[in-house]
Amino acid sequence: MTDIIFTKTFEIPEDYSPKPSDKYVPDWYKNLESYIGGEKKPSGEGQTTGTVKRCMPVFDAVTGGYIIPTYVDIFISQKQLFDSNTSESSDKKIPWYEWPSFGPLGFHPIEQAPTHPARKELLKEAQYPKWINPWAIKTPPGYSVLFVQPVHREAPFTILPGIVDTDTYTAPVNFPFVLNDWKFEGIIPAGTPMAQVIPFKRESWQMSIGKNEELIEQNKVTTKLRSKFFDSYKSQYRQPKEYK
Protein backbone atom coordinates (compact mmCIF):
# COMPACT_ATOMS: atom_id res chain seq x y z
CA MET A 1 0.00 0.00 0.00
CA THR A 2 1.32 3.47 -0.95
CA ASP A 3 1.52 6.15 1.74
CA ILE A 4 0.12 9.68 1.60
CA ILE A 5 0.93 11.94 4.57
CA PHE A 6 -1.23 14.89 5.73
CA THR A 7 0.63 17.20 8.14
CA LYS A 8 -1.23 19.92 10.04
CA THR A 9 0.62 23.24 9.72
CA PHE A 10 -1.49 25.26 12.14
CA GLU A 11 -3.89 24.36 14.91
CA ILE A 12 -7.52 23.59 14.05
CA PRO A 13 -10.07 21.31 15.77
CA GLU A 14 -9.35 17.60 15.35
CA ASP A 15 -12.91 17.07 14.09
CA TYR A 16 -11.93 18.69 10.80
CA SER A 17 -9.03 16.44 9.83
CA PRO A 18 -8.84 14.89 6.33
CA LYS A 19 -10.50 11.52 5.94
CA PRO A 20 -10.99 8.97 3.16
CA SER A 21 -13.77 10.13 0.84
CA ASP A 22 -16.00 7.20 1.81
CA LYS A 23 -16.41 8.91 5.21
CA TYR A 24 -18.08 11.86 3.44
CA VAL A 25 -20.57 10.06 1.20
CA PRO A 26 -23.38 12.59 0.55
CA ASP A 27 -26.83 11.98 1.98
CA TRP A 28 -28.55 12.06 -1.41
CA TYR A 29 -26.43 9.07 -2.46
CA LYS A 30 -26.74 7.15 0.83
CA ASN A 31 -30.51 7.57 0.87
CA LEU A 32 -31.06 6.59 -2.76
CA GLU A 33 -32.62 3.18 -3.43
CA SER A 34 -30.39 0.78 -5.35
CA TYR A 35 -33.23 -0.27 -7.65
CA ILE A 36 -36.19 1.55 -9.13
CA GLY A 37 -39.23 0.66 -7.05
CA GLY A 38 -36.98 -0.99 -4.47
CA GLU A 39 -36.98 -4.36 -6.24
CA LYS A 40 -34.05 -6.08 -7.95
CA LYS A 41 -35.81 -7.28 -11.05
CA PRO A 42 -35.78 -6.45 -14.79
CA SER A 43 -37.93 -3.58 -16.02
CA GLY A 44 -40.27 -5.79 -18.05
CA GLU A 45 -38.67 -4.47 -21.25
CA GLY A 46 -35.33 -6.21 -20.93
CA GLN A 47 -33.66 -3.35 -19.08
CA THR A 48 -31.98 -3.12 -15.68
CA THR A 49 -33.76 -1.25 -12.88
CA GLY A 50 -30.52 -0.35 -11.13
CA THR A 51 -30.24 3.31 -10.13
CA VAL A 52 -27.11 5.45 -10.21
CA LYS A 53 -26.30 3.99 -6.78
CA ARG A 54 -25.38 0.75 -8.60
CA CYS A 55 -23.10 2.62 -11.02
CA MET A 56 -19.52 1.76 -10.05
CA PRO A 57 -17.91 4.68 -11.93
CA VAL A 58 -20.04 7.06 -9.84
CA PHE A 59 -19.24 5.11 -6.66
CA ASP A 60 -15.52 5.15 -7.40
CA ALA A 61 -15.65 8.90 -8.02
CA VAL A 62 -17.62 9.63 -4.82
CA THR A 63 -15.30 7.46 -2.68
CA GLY A 64 -12.03 8.17 -4.49
CA GLY A 65 -9.11 9.67 -2.57
CA TYR A 66 -9.53 11.86 0.48
CA ILE A 67 -11.63 14.83 1.60
CA ILE A 68 -10.27 17.96 3.26
CA PRO A 69 -13.18 19.70 5.06
CA THR A 70 -13.62 23.33 5.98
CA TYR A 71 -12.69 24.01 9.60
CA VAL A 72 -14.67 27.14 10.50
CA ASP A 73 -18.05 28.66 9.63
CA ILE A 74 -18.03 31.17 6.77
CA PHE A 75 -20.89 33.65 6.55
CA ILE A 76 -21.47 35.24 3.15
CA SER A 77 -23.57 38.35 2.60
CA GLN A 78 -23.87 40.91 -0.18
CA LYS A 79 -22.02 44.17 0.43
CA GLN A 80 -23.45 47.35 -1.06
CA LEU A 81 -20.94 49.38 -3.09
CA PHE A 82 -20.84 53.16 -3.12
CA ASP A 83 -20.39 55.51 -6.05
CA SER A 84 -16.87 56.94 -5.77
CA ASN A 85 -18.00 60.27 -7.20
CA THR A 86 -21.12 60.91 -5.13
CA SER A 87 -20.47 58.65 -2.09
CA GLU A 88 -24.03 57.44 -2.50
CA SER A 89 -24.93 53.77 -2.55
CA SER A 90 -24.94 52.24 -6.00
CA ASP A 91 -26.94 49.33 -7.37
CA LYS A 92 -23.82 47.14 -7.26
CA LYS A 93 -23.15 44.46 -4.66
CA ILE A 94 -20.26 42.05 -4.12
CA PRO A 95 -19.92 38.98 -1.87
CA TRP A 96 -18.69 39.75 1.65
CA TYR A 97 -17.11 37.02 3.77
CA GLU A 98 -16.97 36.79 7.57
CA TRP A 99 -15.58 34.15 9.95
CA PRO A 100 -15.13 33.85 13.73
CA SER A 101 -11.49 32.69 13.86
CA PHE A 102 -8.49 31.05 12.13
CA GLY A 103 -8.27 33.34 9.06
CA PRO A 104 -9.54 30.63 6.70
CA LEU A 105 -9.78 32.73 3.51
CA GLY A 106 -7.39 34.66 1.32
CA PHE A 107 -8.21 36.59 -1.83
CA HIS A 108 -6.89 37.08 -5.37
CA PRO A 109 -7.59 40.18 -7.46
CA ILE A 110 -9.83 39.80 -10.49
CA GLU A 111 -6.89 40.85 -12.69
CA GLN A 112 -5.20 37.48 -12.09
CA ALA A 113 -7.97 35.71 -14.04
CA PRO A 114 -10.10 38.40 -15.67
CA THR A 115 -11.51 36.13 -18.38
CA HIS A 116 -11.92 32.88 -16.44
CA PRO A 117 -15.31 31.37 -17.33
CA ALA A 118 -16.18 30.94 -13.65
CA ARG A 119 -16.06 34.69 -13.13
CA LYS A 120 -19.43 35.10 -14.86
CA GLU A 121 -21.12 38.25 -13.55
CA LEU A 122 -18.64 38.89 -10.70
CA LEU A 123 -17.90 42.63 -10.65
CA LYS A 124 -14.39 43.98 -11.08
CA GLU A 125 -14.57 45.43 -7.57
CA ALA A 126 -14.77 41.91 -6.11
CA GLN A 127 -12.03 39.31 -5.62
CA TYR A 128 -11.58 35.58 -6.03
CA PRO A 129 -11.63 33.93 -2.58
CA LYS A 130 -9.43 30.96 -1.69
CA TRP A 131 -9.52 28.45 1.13
CA ILE A 132 -6.40 28.55 3.29
CA ASN A 133 -5.53 24.87 3.62
CA PRO A 134 -3.89 23.87 6.92
CA TRP A 135 -2.68 20.53 5.55
CA ALA A 136 0.67 19.86 3.88
CA ILE A 137 0.59 16.72 1.73
CA LYS A 138 3.48 14.42 0.92
CA THR A 139 3.39 11.53 -1.56
CA PRO A 140 6.15 9.05 -2.53
CA PRO A 141 8.55 9.82 -5.41
CA GLY A 142 6.73 9.80 -8.74
CA TYR A 143 3.29 10.53 -7.29
CA SER A 144 1.23 13.72 -7.67
CA VAL A 145 -2.19 14.83 -6.44
CA LEU A 146 -5.22 16.04 -8.34
CA PHE A 147 -7.27 18.53 -6.30
CA VAL A 148 -10.91 18.81 -7.39
CA GLN A 149 -14.23 19.99 -6.04
CA PRO A 150 -15.67 17.04 -4.07
CA VAL A 151 -17.62 15.23 -6.76
CA HIS A 152 -21.35 14.55 -6.76
CA ARG A 153 -21.75 16.71 -3.65
CA GLU A 154 -23.91 19.80 -3.41
CA ALA A 155 -22.11 22.98 -2.31
CA PRO A 156 -22.48 26.73 -2.85
CA PHE A 157 -18.90 26.93 -4.15
CA THR A 158 -16.54 25.16 -6.56
CA ILE A 159 -12.77 25.10 -6.16
CA LEU A 160 -10.59 25.59 -9.22
CA PRO A 161 -9.01 22.17 -9.92
CA GLY A 162 -5.25 21.75 -10.04
CA ILE A 163 -2.47 19.16 -10.06
CA VAL A 164 0.50 19.47 -7.69
CA ASP A 165 3.62 17.31 -7.58
CA THR A 166 3.39 16.55 -3.89
CA ASP A 167 6.50 14.38 -3.87
CA THR A 168 8.67 17.49 -4.32
CA TYR A 169 6.33 20.31 -3.24
CA THR A 170 5.27 19.45 0.30
CA ALA A 171 3.98 22.84 1.49
CA PRO A 172 0.20 23.39 1.90
CA VAL A 173 -1.76 23.98 -1.30
CA ASN A 174 -4.53 26.58 -1.03
CA PHE A 175 -7.75 26.33 -3.04
CA PRO A 176 -9.13 29.32 -4.97
CA PHE A 177 -12.86 28.95 -5.45
CA VAL A 178 -15.87 30.58 -7.01
CA LEU A 179 -19.40 30.84 -5.71
CA ASN A 180 -21.79 28.93 -7.95
CA ASP A 181 -24.10 31.91 -7.51
CA TRP A 182 -22.24 35.15 -6.82
CA LYS A 183 -25.41 36.49 -5.18
CA PHE A 184 -25.41 33.69 -2.59
CA GLU A 185 -26.06 34.63 1.03
CA GLY A 186 -25.79 32.24 3.95
CA ILE A 187 -23.41 30.07 5.97
CA ILE A 188 -20.94 27.51 4.69
CA PRO A 189 -20.65 25.45 7.88
CA ALA A 190 -17.44 24.02 9.29
CA GLY A 191 -17.05 20.42 8.14
CA THR A 192 -18.23 21.07 4.58
CA PRO A 193 -16.15 19.05 2.08
CA MET A 194 -13.67 21.61 0.74
CA ALA A 195 -11.45 19.65 -1.66
CA GLN A 196 -11.11 16.07 -2.88
CA VAL A 197 -7.52 14.81 -2.96
CA ILE A 198 -6.84 12.13 -5.58
CA PRO A 199 -3.26 10.81 -5.67
CA PHE A 200 -1.91 9.29 -8.87
CA LYS A 201 1.36 8.00 -10.27
CA ARG A 202 2.98 10.15 -12.95
CA GLU A 203 3.71 8.35 -16.21
CA SER A 204 4.49 9.39 -19.76
CA TRP A 205 1.66 8.74 -22.21
CA GLN A 206 1.46 8.63 -25.98
CA MET A 207 -1.86 8.88 -27.80
CA SER A 208 -2.87 6.90 -30.87
CA ILE A 209 -6.13 6.21 -32.71
CA GLY A 210 -7.46 2.68 -32.39
CA LYS A 211 -7.69 0.42 -35.44
CA ASN A 212 -9.83 -2.57 -36.33
CA GLU A 213 -8.23 -4.81 -33.69
CA GLU A 214 -9.25 -2.39 -30.95
CA LEU A 215 -12.77 -2.16 -32.35
CA ILE A 216 -13.10 -5.95 -32.32
CA GLU A 217 -11.91 -6.06 -28.70
CA GLN A 218 -14.31 -3.27 -27.73
CA ASN A 219 -17.23 -5.16 -29.30
CA LYS A 220 -16.32 -8.26 -27.28
CA VAL A 221 -16.32 -6.23 -24.07
CA THR A 222 -19.70 -4.68 -24.88
CA THR A 223 -21.19 -8.09 -25.74
CA LYS A 224 -19.98 -9.53 -22.44
CA LEU A 225 -21.23 -6.48 -20.53
CA ARG A 226 -24.73 -6.98 -21.96
CA SER A 227 -24.90 -10.59 -20.79
CA LYS A 228 -26.12 -9.63 -17.30
CA PHE A 229 -29.04 -7.58 -15.99
CA PHE A 230 -27.30 -6.38 -12.83
CA ASP A 231 -23.79 -5.33 -11.74
CA SER A 232 -22.19 -6.47 -14.99
CA TYR A 233 -19.38 -3.91 -14.98
CA LYS A 234 -18.78 -4.42 -11.26
CA SER A 235 -18.59 -8.22 -11.46
CA GLN A 236 -16.61 -8.50 -14.70
CA TYR A 237 -14.43 -5.41 -15.14
CA ARG A 238 -14.16 -3.15 -12.11
CA GLN A 239 -10.89 -3.24 -10.15
CA PRO A 240 -10.87 -2.54 -6.40
CA LYS A 241 -9.55 0.80 -5.12
CA GLU A 242 -8.57 1.36 -1.51
CA TYR A 243 -8.00 4.55 0.46
CA LYS A 244 -7.30 4.38 4.20
For the chain, the three-class secondary structure string (H helix, E strand, C coil) is CCCCEEEECCCCCHHHCCEEHHHHCCHHHHCCCCEHHHCCCCCCCCCCCECHHHCHHHHHHHCCCEEEECCCCEEEEEEEEECCCCCCEEEEEEEEEECCCCCCEEEEEHHHCCCCHHHCCCCCCCEEEEECCCEEEECCCCEEEEEECCCCCCCCEEECCEEECCCCCCCCCCEEEEECCCCCCEEECCCCEEEEEEEEECCCCCCCCCCHHHHHHHHHHHHHHCCCCCCHHHHHCCCCCCCC
- For residues 82 and 49, the model is more confident at 49
- pLDDT at residue 130 greater than cutoff 90: yes
* pLDDT for res 88: 65
* pLDDT for res 18: 98
Confidence of residue 84 (pLDDT cuts 50, 70, 90): low
The answer to whether 200 and 144 have CB atoms below 8 angstroms apart is yes
- pLDDT at residue 85 greater than cutoff 90: no
The answer to whether 85 and 72 have CB atoms below 8 angstroms apart is no
* pLDDT for res 87: 66
**Cα distance between residue 130 and residue 104, in whole Å:** 8
Residue 17 identity: S
* pLDDT for res 45: 87
* pLDDT for res 97: 98
Mean pLDDT of 18-45: 94
Mean pLDDT of 104-115: 95
* pLDDT for res 160: 97
Q: How many other C-beta atoms can be found within 10 angstroms of the C-beta atom of residue 24?
A: 20
Mean pLDDT of 155-169: 98
Return the percentage of the chain with pLDDT > 70, whole number: 98
Mean pLDDT of 157-173: 98
- pLDDT at residue 82 greater than cutoff 90: no
- pLDDT tens profile 185-221: 999 999 999 999 999 999 999 999 999 999 999 999 9
